[in-house]
Structure 1
Amino acid sequence: MRIVLTALALGLALAGGHASAQSAGDDLAQARAAFEQRDFKTAYARYSALTASPYGAEAAFVLSVIVKDGYGVVRADPAQALVLLRRAADGGEPRAIGTLGMAYLEGDGVPQSLEEAKRVWRRGAELNQAPSLYNLGYMARFADRAPAEAAGWFERAVAAGDTKSLSELADLLDRGEGVARDSARAVDLWRQAFAAGAKEPPTKLAQAFFEGSGVAEDAVKAQAWALVAEKAGNGVSLEARNVIASKLSADQRAEAARLADRCLAAPSADCP
């Protein structure tokens, strides 16, 4: 399930506010550096000293990660980790909110409950946290089969800077599910998603250019996107590629290859 996940994969790069005391800010920087370097003993000590600081929510979250598995620093204690995780989530820590929601979704240390997971993520949504907005959109679309609600969450997630939501919203717009159909905007969102690293959009864009959906029909650009899709690891079917190629001359196929290479070299600037 493509849900925003937890723990170490979530990283420590936060845009922290200015410290009320310079020493607390310095301690936080050292704690983050230790955790990123997997020096869990130092990270545990430094974050433990920050629990009563303005960075207490972040400290509680990272301590919950360390305490849950131990990492050779402390005895693994999932129950205490959950206490710390709840404290961090109550403090509005984005990764803690995402992690606690996932715990309820998967029944990890708590009774499994989709409704409780959504309740936790709604807390994140109230704080305009992109991961929670995406998760709510994903669950609305695929668990609740509520495309209109999903579109609303994905719109907010995109506005909050969530790149995963670009493709989800584009799919709904292209199909007119829960929203008025807008294939032109879908194409724009797929381009943005590809520039942000998503693998799925090239296949969608190849189809859009081949069919003239949201853009002017253009078999050369369709072939270019089909080539990009193949090299990005999410290729168009051989049958579809052959259909596109059958409409092109040798010169046009060469031009499509040139466009594809240029796009792969600069996804954010030089794609058709």
Structure 2
Amino acid sequence: MRKKLAGVALAFGAVFLPSTSCLAESDSESESQQPSAELPVAEASPSEKLSSSFFRPGIFSKIAKIVSGSVATDDIPSLQKEAEAGNPEAQFILGFIYAKGKGVVQDNLKAAELWGEAADHGHVLAQHNLGILYEEGAGVPQDYAKAAEFYKKAASGGNAEAEYNLGTLYERGEGVQQDAGKATELYQKAAAQGNVDAEYNLANDYAKGDGVPQNYAKAVDLFEKAAAQGDSQAQYNLGILYEHGKGVGKSYAKAASLYRMAAEQDDAQAAYNLAVLYEHGLGVPKNYFKAAEYYQKASDRGYADAQYNLGNAYVNGEGVPQNNTKAVALWQKSADQGYALAQLNLAQAYEQGVGIEQDYGKAAEFYKKAADQGNTKAQKALEELYKAHTELRSQEGLGMAYEQGQGVPQDLVKAAEFYKKAADRGDEKAQLALEDLYVQHPELRAQEYVNSPSELAKPILPESDSEGSKGEDKDL
């Protein structure tokens, strides 16, 4: 079970779309462009919270760590004879051959049978591997209690991988009673034998004080050991600690070096953090091209923060050719993952018709999504949009009013009409309300509504703010 330190420092990489008829342009006169006084950019404070990004290696990648070398397929007949004669080593090796499908048809059930026989003879590696099969439900029914039983047997024989795997079961409370202290104890034993996964998990325990007193210095020491073995998540987390000066002297340069190592192993968060450092010249020379390169790497792996910042880079033409259409496409990807700042920028793009066809309904939809997450700029922008286009506010609200008879005579036909207008704009709440209304009154579904309420005002273009403004940074 692998976890990452949450919190990405300095996620203040880009500007919002201003509330004007055009998108913000970068200031070519100054490399160190300052944010406007109205919307100051505040450096995000470091986060100490750990996220639960679990790392579960593939089941046979674990086994491969234990069994080194290769087995010649012409040895299989002799191994089968030895295994049938009760030789636990032969049973173990033959089980591995079946698990890997080397010279035989891959067969987890056969592997489980052979490892079970070897485990009964006290073969530690067979006990560990059998635990994996039960944990993963490969060749045998998934059974965490059985997995714990065999991990315990192997751990009692000093097997580091079994100690680590048993620790993950205690941490999650699968097959055993959840016990963070016991998990930490097992990680310590495995880490003492150089198990990289145990070093990583134990480092996280010290970083957040889970099962042990919080101790960033110990976390740094353990992350360094795991990072030295090429563990990308350890490199990323160690970079976080260097960036914030937790348990070690603060160093953006060291953080950048560690992020780069992890990014080269396709760690999206590390690529994103490195991009932010390049964008702001922290620990590395300021370089928008490098920033865009690493935002792209993280964006390609679906990282919402990177998609948002890369979109902003396209708006400003920083490190990439200026392209509003690409910016909008990236914000859409980020917004679809619930990223409030991307929803805000996308709403402004729809409102202004920049990079995409103007659509006030869509603008209201995305303002509302960001506003519902507490984004004050979205809340204010949505209120202004409602003032200019009262029909955007009224269609869903009037639908509810007519359905429930609140302030107006109850009229289900009119309720359906207003819900449908809002639903046609992509309003999810209106879509659900309309569907519920149709379920309760199926006769309404077949009717067509062609008359628009005379009281609704026609859309008008909002007045532009000629000065524009820049947005604040991502809140951590």
Q: TM-score, normalised by structure 1?
A: 0.80
Out of 179, 197, 211, the residue aligned to residue 39 of structure 1 is 179
Structural mapping, 1:249-264, within 5 Å: 250=391, 254=395, 255=421, 259=425, 261-262=427-428
Q: Which residue of 1 aligns with 2:8?
A: 2
2:197 corresponds to 1:61: no
The one-letter code of the counterpart of 2:355 is G
The counterpart of 1:14, out of the listed 55, 58, 66, is 55
Structure 1 position 105, deviation (Å): 1.5
Task: Mark the CA change 1:78 to 1:102 in structure 2 (over 3 Å): closer, same or farther.
Answer: closer
Distance 1:129 1:238, change over 3 A: closer
Note closer, same or farther for the CA distance 1:14–1:77 as it changes in structure 2 (3 Å cut).
closer
Q: Is the CA contact 2:368–2:379 (under 8 Å) kept in the aligned structure 1?
A: no
d(CA) in 2 for partners of 1:223 and 1:14? 39
Q: Which residues of 2 match residues 42-121 of structure 1 at below 5 A? A: 42-51=182-191, 56-67=195-206, 71=210, 73=212, 78-121=216-259
Structure 2's unaligned 5+ residue stretches are 1-6, 12-45, 67-125, 133-146, 148-161, 396-420, 433-476
The CA deviation at 1:140 is 1.3
Q: Residue 119 of structure 1 aligns to which amino acid in structure 2?
A: S
* Contact preservation (8 Å) 1:101, 1:118: yes
Residue ranges of structure 1 left out of the alignment (5+ in a row): 267-272
Number of residue pairs matched by the alignment = 264
Deviations 1:105-139 (A, max 9, x none): 12222222111111111111221211210110111
Q: How does 1:104-253 map to 2 (within 5 A)?
A: 104-144=242-282, 145-236=286-377, 240-241=381-382, 244-245=385-386, 248=389, 250=391
The secondary structure found in structure 2 opposite 1:14 is coil
Distance 1:201 1:78, change over 3 A: closer
CA shift at 1:244, angstroms? 3.2
Partner Cα separation in structure 2 for residue 76 and residue 205 of structure 1: 41
Post-superposition CA distance 1:19-75 (Å, at most 9, x none)? 21561645454322322457222212332444488x9222101122334676555x7
SS of alignment partner, residue 58 of structure 1: helix
Relative contact order, higher structure (CA 8 A, sep 6+): 2
Residues 248-269 of structure 1: CA deviation (Å, up to 9, x unaligned): 3637852458746418999xxx
Query: Per the alignment, in what secondary structure is the counterpart of residue 200 of structure 1?
Result: helix
SS in 2 for 1:138: helix
Q: Residues 9 and 92 (structure 1 numbering): CA distance in 2 closer, same or farther, change over 3 Å?
A: same
In 2, are the aligned partners of 1:6 and 1:99 still within 8 Å (CA)?
no
Greater helix share, structure number: 1
CA–CA separation in structure 2 for the residues paired with 1:250 and 1:6: 42
3-state SS of the aligned residue for 2:276? helix
What is the alpha-carbon distance in structure 1 between the residues aligned to residue 266 and residue 189 of structure 2? 29
Q: Kindly indicate whether the alpha-carbon contact (under 8 Å) linking 1:133 and 1:156 is maintained by their aligned counterparts in 2.
A: yes
Contact 1:166 1:193 in 2 (8 A): yes
* More off after superposition, 231-240 vs 35-44: 231-240
Partner of 1:269: none
1:236 to partner: Cα distance: 4.0
Partners of 2:422 and 2:376 in 1: CA distance: 15
Hey, what's the Cα distance between the residues in 1 that align with 2:426 and 2:187?
47
- AA at the equivalent of 2:186: R
Q: 1:163/1:29 Cα in 2 relative to 1: closer, same or farther (>3 Å)?
A: farther
Q: CA deviation at 1:79?
A: 4.3
1:250 to 1:160, Cα distance in 2 relative to 1, 3 A: closer
Per the alignment, in what secondary structure is the counterpart of residue 50 of structure 2?
A: helix
